[in-house]
Amino acid sequence: MKRYRNNLLTRLLSTTAVAGLVLVGGCSASTDAASPAAVSGTGGPASPPATTVHTAPRTVPAGMGSDTPDGAFPRTVRHFEGSTTVPEAPKRVVAISTGQADALLTLGVVPVGSTRGDGADLVPQYLKDDFPQDAARVAKTADLGSRLAPSIEAVANAKPDLILMNTAGKNAKALYTSLSAIAPTVATEGTGLYWKQDFLLVAAALGKTGQAQKFLDTYHADAAKLGTSLNKPVTVSFLRQNGDRLRVFGVPSFTGSVAEDAGLGRPKTQQFAKTSQDISEEQLSRADADWIFYGVQGGTAKASALTKAPLWPTLSAVAAKRAVPVDDDVFYLNTGPTAARDVLATLKQHLQP
């Protein structure tokens, strides 16, 4: 069974690269519109876009997905753990991994079971708020345990006819084998950078690729509109505190991809080829930019650990009252399409004149 693995370094092209880049085969970053160029320094003005590279892939990797028309079953889906046949339109779908419950609800499917991140709710509040029409069914979602080590017994008890998982941060082959013994299972790649291709892969399994693509097309147009509506270039910073861990997020991250889609600049301190980098309170200057969007797991009740740090008031964004507390679930914990729309809405609310 062929597995489709892609090294991040071969798929990720730095936003500081010059134009005229040579892209690697079907697994390269998308090249159909502009991405933000490097900025001159922390919080400094962004230069006009200099490349046409999208860090977050906008299509499924070459050879993946399904050739069967939308709505037609059985359908065969090629994914990150091989190939799976879905015999009929799924009615009881289980979401094992980050962002998949979001993807399902975005496509009009309520999961019958889901997992939870460490210290997180089974169904994030933003999904309850964004899909009130599904509240009664969402409330009945079965708890399948943790995202990295779900309860196989609980999954079986949910009686799924389709299971979704991803391959990030776990023994994916072993988990896929266990889940496939219960029901047809489709594996996406996982991590925030790949939220668009993973959304399309979930849609391929459901026979809803056209619906997913329409959602992404509208999202991309709205993101580009935000960028062109600004009176001047701005830089945005993404900062998260989870317990004692403090991180800034780079371009190849979920929130970083949304900022890139909108053509927003990033401070030089956040132009690295990783999802995030840990910093200490003494390194808070690395979080500075024209605007800071910061999340704290546990909400505002725990935000004082960050906002009372000695260096916090020295940040230019804080001094200018441009440090914005955000929903941690939306910006940093869930990497789905509806979360992306909510991130974009927050950016628009604060950045648009």
pLDDT tens, per residue, the chain with 353 residues: 444 444 444 444 333 333 333 333 333 344 333 333 333 333 333 433 444 679 999 999 999 999 999 999 999 999 999 999 999 999 999 999 989 999 999 999 999 999 998 878 899 999 999 999 999 999 999 999 999 899 999 999 999 999 999 999 999 999 999 999 999 999 999 999 999 999 999 999 999 999 999 999 999 999 999 999 999 999 999 999 998 999 999 999 999 999 999 999 999 999 999 999 999 999 999 999 999 999 998 877 678 889 999 999 999 999 999 999 999 999 999 999 999 999 999 999 999 97
Tokens 């210290």 belong to residue: 119
Residue 283 burial (C-beta neighbours within 10 Å; 0-12, 13-18, 19+) = middle
* Alpha-carbon distances of 130 from 53, 102, 106, 160, 332, rounded to whole Å: 31, 10, 9, 24, 17
Task: Say how far apart CA 188 and CA 100 lie, in whole Å.
Answer: 9
Q: What is the CA radius of gyration of the chain?
A: 20
Query: pTM score, two decimals?
Result: 0.86
Instruction: For residue 162, give both structure tokens.
Output: 């389709």
Instruction: State the pLDDT at residue 33.
Output: 36
Task: Say how far apart CA 284 and CA 255 lie, in whole Å.
Answer: 19
DSSP letters of 220-247?
Answer: HHHHHHHHHH-SS--BEEEEEEETTEEE
Task: Say how far apart CA 233 and CA 266 lie, in whole Å.
Answer: 10
Which DSSP helix (H) or strand (E) runs through 82? strand 82-86
* DSSP annotation of 281: G
Q: 3-class SS at 268?
A: helix
DSSP letters of 19-79?
Answer: SSPPPPTTTSPB-SS-BPPPBSSTTPPBPPP-B--BSS-SSPPTT-B--SPTT-SSEEEEE
Closest CA to 27 of 68, 62, 67: 62
Instruction: For residue 33, give both structure tokens.
Output: 């519109």
* Alpha-carbon distances of 91 from 108, 110, 157, 158, 345, rounded to whole Å: 11, 9, 15, 12, 31
Residue 5 burial (C-beta neighbours within 10 Å; 0-12, 13-18, 19+) = exposed
